Amino acid sequence: MKHLLSTRDLSAASALRLLDVAEEMSAVGEREIKKLPALRGRTVVNLFFEDSTRTRISFEAAAKRLSADVINFVAKGSSVSKGESLKDTAQTLEAMSADAVVIRHPASGAPARLAASDWIDAAVINAGDGTHEHPTQALLDAFTLRRHWARIGGNASPGTTLAGMKVLIVGDVLHSRVARSNVWLLTTLGAEVLLAGPPTLMPVGVGAWPCTVFYDLDVAIAQRPDAVMMLRLQAERMNAAFFPSTREYSRRWGFDDGRLALLDIMGLDDTVIMHPGPMNRGLEISAAAADSPRSTILAQVRNGVSVRMAALYLLLSGDTHDDDQHDDEPQ
């Protein structure tokens, strides 16, 4: 694997390998080991054309824990604002001997364009492109779910899948790269995926996705999911005319205090509540739900560092465990 561009083309073997390596990486930082020398002398560039808190910081922490040098490039304040193209920006990074480029871009397909080009030799990691994919977010979500599943089932051995698990993804699926990456990855790992959201925020063609779609959140919750993943309502990607009433959205699609209590009433003691962040508290998720013992939101952030360490390590160490995501094929 030379690049990590999507989960759609990631095999179960590759995904499980990454999750197993992430388990090993989680020891770094959690225990006395603060750093591994694995990527000493290598350079990781964080190339962010869109805002980020969690992804950018955790890639930086991950690279530093592997002893790599890190260059942070944020489009705001760079020569991109003077009209510099992705090609010229990439070639500038190449001249600085980047070994890996972690790219977030508003255009779906920008990371694949970079990976397929001859502008750079570096490994390319998609840190979120438009409404297309956010593969490391899905991998950290799967890592979090696998740990939760292991706690319930008592099976934490390497290679364990998510077979038997039911995951409900709720909200603005239309604009969500997190939803797309999770649908592909979770189903590859054997989980059953349910989607719930308003018809206006479901993508055309969602009926062909490997999941069941609900247009009533309470009917979806009645399916007794093991995890409920709330999505951020992405106002910045919506025409104001299509932005739903926040009160109506919260009532119909928010994980509010009533739905939090419903999990207890239904005896769903082991059901967790997830959110990739950043959250609109009081809109798609209530403060009580976000801060409840069921919430995995901070665990997801913590696990993101281990998962990104695993991704950087596997790509830069030349691990050739799998044959998917060929370096010459746009994903």
State yes or no: residue 53 binds ligand CP (CB under 6 A): yes
Least distance in angstroms from the C-beta of 20 to ligand CP: 23
Q: How far is the CB of 290 from ligand CP (least distance, A)?
A: 14
Residue written as token pair 């995501």: 325
* Helical packing angle, 297-316 and 54-65, nearest 10°: 50
Whichever of 12 and 279 has its CB closer to ligand CP, that residue is 279
State which of residues 90, 276, 305, 312 lies at the interface with ligand CP (CB under 6 A): 276
3 labelled ligand-binding: no
Residue 55 labelled as part of a binding site: yes
Q: Which member of 137, 280, 286, 306 binds ligand CP (CB under 6 A)?
A: 137
Smallest separation (angstroms) from ligand CP to the CB of 55: 3
Instruction: Verify binding: residue 330, ligand CP, rule CB under 6 A.
Output: no
278 binds ligand CP (CB under 6 A): yes
Q: Which residue's beta carbon is nearest to the bound ligand CP?
A: 55
Closest CA to 286 of 256, 306, 266: 256
Of 184, 142, 121, whose CA–CA distance to 23 is shortest?
A: 142
CB 16 within 8 A of CB 163: no
Find all residues with CB under 8 Å of 83, minimum gap 6, and list them.
none
- 134 among annotated binding-site residues: yes
- For residue 239, what are its two tokens? 């025409």
Residues found near ligand CP in the complex (CB under 6 A): 52-55, 128, 137, 276-278
Binding residues for carbamoyl phosphate, by number, are: 54-55, 104, 134, 137, 277-278
